[in-house]
Amino acid sequence: IKELVGFASDSLRLNLEVENIKRARFLNEMNLADAEYDDAVFQRITNVWNDPAIQECWHQRHRFPLQMRHTDYLIENLDRIRSPDYTPTKEDCVYLRQRTTGIVRVSF
């Protein structure tokens, strides 16, 4: 979402709806590693994703070097993925991977 907001406003000169500007600012200022993802945060993510400017940017994503190429899959499956008893499917693993330029170690 952060990347899309940046590309939408900086590269495409698209303006988010007024209420989504505040939501996007909140999301941009979050410390993602330490954030607590409650219902309000997920609602903000969904609202910003559904903004016409973000959707237009997403439709033109081939023009930008996005890290997450399948943000649409993540948003469409957000309720399932954020469930307390969530178990990743093979499809989740394929769609939610990020491009890397080297070895990245992730601890669980």
Whether the CB-CB separation of 64 and 14 falls below 8 Å is answered with no
| % of the chain beyond a pLDDT of 70 | 88
**pTM score:** 0.75
Q: What is the pLDDT of residues 72-94, one digit of tens each?
A: 898 999 999 889 899 999 998 88
Maximum separation of any 2 CA atoms in the chain, in Å: 41
